[in-house]
Structure 1
């Protein structure tokens, strides 16, 4: 006969629980507690986890691991607008990815780097518009991508190399490019020593 504790650990985890563990893993990687390869491995398993037991096994040995509130709705970061008009923008490093993100470049350019970011929703909608400018969206290996946009005398990437992991966040990219470009690239994270070099 199972105990109440074992029954609750075998309960199905929700998106909020997976996102909380992913953020805890990112904290551990940022502090050097987890190496890059172990971080990426645990992160993929966290997004694919179905039960609280699976999530607890991935985070039990980390500082800050506590029994989280089980379930509840995701609370995405507020919608964000990134503008580059005759200039540029960069969104890099550790930041909270909102459920909806709009980017616009007019005679300018920008970079949205999702590799080190914290996802606050299992699905992210990015609307990207480039007019005589260029933008690049960098996604980490585990994230799933659906990119569809329209280009007139420019380019809008529809495909991205590689497949994401089951259960990982889905990033939908839509928009258009007029005499400009929207590039979508899957890139691995760099080890901390590599980041210092460039």
Structure 2
């Protein structure tokens, strides 16, 4: 962590420290060092951690996983991104860096934004989704906090997004659908083969 020395262990953890630990745990799960259920349990604890000590304990038993911040560290959010599907489709799946602002447009097309395996580079993320005669699906992991503010006009914009875990990133989803849909679904992660 940013202050990984043991004498700093009781220091309060910053959002960047929690995000970095989430990324380290994701690395460990991808390498097969953690079962999916244990990964999700540790991830919830990482987002709820108040001190550096609590974060360090989450990776202490993982061989070869660095617990100190690299020089480049997760200091800046990924750049804003536009996902566009005009009579076509887009998919954002697997491991990718979620920007602070993401805009998606489906015009006579469709798309999938899967946040279950993604690395968050900011604690507050804004997704603006527009679907016109098209459809989009946004897949959320169980711990993510979500605020939905979209509108469907002769179409659908899901509003079913319950609270996640304390301290986990918050995603605000806004936008509209016209003769289309924006579906928002919570889905557990699958074990990696």
Tell me the TM-score range normalised by the shorter chain. Answer: over 0.9
Deviations 1:77-125 (A, max 9, x none): 1110000000000000000000000000000000000000001110110
In the superposition, the TM-score normalised over structure 1's length comes to 0.90
How far the C-alpha of 1:74 sits from its partner, in A, is: 3.5
Aligned twin of 1:172: 172
Equivalent pairs, count: 187
Deviations 1:20-79 (A, max 9, x none): 00000000001101110110000000000000000000012222323337xx98311111
Aligned twin of 2:29: 29
Aligned twin of 1:109: 110
> Using the alignment, how far apart are the partners of 1:116 and 1:66 within structure 2?
20
In the superposition, the TM-score normalised over structure 2's length comes to 0.92
RMSD between superposed Cα atoms in Å = 1.6
Unpaired stretches in structure 2, ≥5 consecutive residues: none
Asked whether 1:146 is paired with 2:179, we answer no
More helix by share: 1
How far the C-alpha of 1:159 sits from its partner, in A, is: 1.7
Asked whether 1:157 is paired with 2:158, we answer yes
Aligned twin of 2:65: 64
Is the contact made by 2:82 and 2:102 (CA closer than 8 Å) also made in structure 1? Answer: yes
Is the contact made by 2:19 and 2:74 (CA closer than 8 Å) also made in structure 1? Answer: no
* 3-state secondary structure, aligned to 2:90: strand
